[in-house]
Amino acid sequence: MPFPLIRQVRAYVVRGGGADYHDQGEGHWIDDHIATPMSRYPEYRQSRQSFGINVLGTLVVEIEAADGTVGFAVTTGGEPAAYIVEKHLARFLEGRDPTEIEKIWDQMYFSTQYYGRKGLVVNALSGVDLALWDLLGKLRGEPVYHLLGGKVRDELTFYATGARPDLAQKMGFIGGKMPLHHGPAEGEEGLRKNLEELATMRERTGEDFWLMFDCWMALDLNYATKLTHKAHEYGLKWIEEALSPDDYWGYRDLKKNAPKGMLVTTGEHEATRWGFRMLLEMECCDIIQPDVGWCGGMTELVKISNLADSRGVLCIPHGSSVYSYHFVVTRHNSPFAEFLMMAPKADEVVPMFHPQLIGEPVPVNGKLKLSDAPGFGVELNREVGLHRPYAR
Ligand SMILES: C[C@H](O)[C@H](O)[C@@H](O)[C@@H](O)C(=O)O
Ligand SMILES: [Mg+2]
């Protein structure tokens, strides 16, 4: 039986948490002196919001079929992404068959290639692609993980990202990824403070709990190499996104020079099969971490993950709530998932994209069994103040 054609694509913007999870209030761990490439400017060192990490806001994409069924997704992108969706991408979906996911992706990507390829444009494209997968799941009455080939394990296992790995351990997570607080501009004193924080958490969590540093692109090769060797003493499991996403050569050398047994990871700000091919063929990392809301959507994440699988590299998507969970549960080379602790003190489990997703599942004791609800299994909270700036 043919599926109803796509009637309309709508793009909304929302402020305050949600998919733009850096858009938080005062006193949140996620905006407390975290090292970034901007940390070399003292005025931008304390707060990432001071240099605009939350400037975009959340993009909500809705795709409505002729029979009234609506698929939706959320990602980071805000008003400029809404413009791209309504003014450029919508033309490749409206009036089309929702099963033409590959052709629609190809037309969205190559029609924007002259100004896109990565970043905001591919965030917008990813949001449309995820909404299309949600619509298709709802039309078929199946969860997205069925459309991806089905579960390879009964439940998901999570590590937690946040300022309190010691509390994450008590909540049942398999590991804790800590934000790095001091970059090269703070010299040896900053390096010492970084290591002191790691030593404290190692002391509190014992020998076997995974501890990782997330460096959010803040370091240079020399500092990152030194940090890996000094952190090795405390059993650091991986060093994440130490360098600029464009410094493939630096990652190649960091991976070569890091202590044996320590993993080098990156990819959350990389996009498309071509970007990840570069990371893989230059042997930049041991784990790739694409964000499904930023790398090209589910259609592209499948291609990216297969490249990694062919080289024995794990694909552990950057935390993106249900959008990554439905993927991870279907892939052997994604044996665990990331959960971002969005409670301001990282002391309790709260939904990642709150308040935008109704029914958003969260790990219990570090584990999660996905329901078989259609699509991504969540509904849009229409009370969050949806604004459609480019309504047609
Ligand atoms: C904790 C990190 O600084 C980022 O805020 C986080 O979003 C990302 O890098 C992650 O891997 O979760
Ligand atoms: Mg990261």
Q: What is the ipTM of this complex?
A: 0.99
Which residues surround ligand 1 with Cβ inside 6 Å? 30, 34, 161, 179, 214, 216, 268, 318-319, 340
**Phi/psi at 7 (nearest 5 deg)?**
-95, -45
pLDDT band at 391; cut points 50, 70, 90: very high
| Ligand 1 pocket test, candidate residues 75, 340, 342, most atoms within 8 A of CB | 340
Place of tokens 């703070």: 186
Q: Is the pTM of this model over 0.95?
A: yes
Other CB atoms within 10 A of residue 366 CB: 21
Q: Which residues contact 326 (CB under 8 A, 6 or more apart)?
A: 143, 144, 145, 148, 298, 370, 376, 377
**Bridge-based pairing state of the strands 58-65 and 6-14:** antiparallel
How far apart are the CA of 256 and the centre of ligand 1, in A? 24
- Token code pair at residue 222: 């020399």
How far apart are the CA of 22 and the centre of ligand 2, in A? 12
Ligand 1 atom 5, closest CA: 30
**What is the rounded CA–CA span in Å between residue 127 and residue 125?**
5
How far apart are the CA of 150 and the centre of ligand 1, in A? 29
How far apart are the CA of 239 and the centre of ligand 2, in A? 10
Ligand 1 atom nearest the C-alpha of 162 is 1
Helices (H), the chain: 78-87, 101-112, 120-140, 144-147, 165-170, 187-205, 221-231, 248-257, 272-281, 297-310, 322-328
Indicate if 318 belongs to the active site: yes
Catalytic residue of the set 181, 182, 269, 318: 318
- How much of the chain, in percent, has pLDDT values that exceed 70? 100
What is residue 159's three-state secondary structure?
A: strand
Determine the residue type at 12. Answer: Y
| Ligand 1 pocket test, candidate residues 24, 33, 161, 265, most atoms within 8 A of CB | 161
pLDDT digits (tens, 9 = 90+) for 122-177: 999 999 999 999 999 999 999 999 999 999 999 999 999 999 999 999 999 999 99
pLDDT digits (tens, 9 = 90+) for 360-388: 999 999 999 999 999 999 999 999 989 99
